[in-house]
Amino acid sequence: MNVIKNKSNIQIGDKMSENGNGQVKTDVELLKRDMELLAGLAEKFDDAIDRLSDISTSVDKMLAVHERRLQNQEQQREIIHQRISDMKKGMTDEFRLLRDENRKQHGETNERLAKLERWRWFVVGVATVLGFLVAQMPGLAKLFS
């Protein structure tokens, strides 16, 4: 029985070693498959990283362009603001000159009007005196009649 036991043990040992080898082979195959999946994932990650790098570069370029545009707009705003300030100062000076000239013209017009009024009253006074004198002199009235 010993011999048979030994043969069975050897057979059982062989089966165990076959099962152990089979298990190792299965584990190795599973690991190979997992590695292939990980390699595929790593390749997809590399592609995604490359795309993100391209996008980052594009965004950097767009930001640089927008920054330049903002700087240009700021410069243009400053130029326009300066022009408006200069124009405002110029217009204020022009208005001041016009107001001064207007005052001068009003003064001259008032002087001329005052002279005309004095002349009118002089003429009215002379006509009144002449009318009074003519009314007082009957002989002169006869001459004119």
- pTM recorded for the entire structure: 0.44
Rounded Cα–Cα distance for residues 93 and 97 (Å): 6
So where are the chain's domains?
2-144
Provide the b/e sequence for 87-125 (b: ≥16 CB within 10 Å): eeeeeeeeeeeeeeeeeeeeeeeeeeeeeeeeeeeeeee
What confidence tens digit (pLDDT) does each residue in 53-87 have?
999 999 999 999 999 999 999 999 999 999 999 99
CB-CB contact of 141 with 134 (8 Å): yes
Q: Quote the distance between the C-alpha of residue 107 and its chain's center.
A: 50
Render pLDDT for 91-116 as a digit per residue (tens, 0 to 9): 999 999 999 999 999 999 999 999 99
User: Hey, what amino acid is at 48?
Assistant: A
Q: What integer best gives the mean pLDDT of the chain?
A: 85
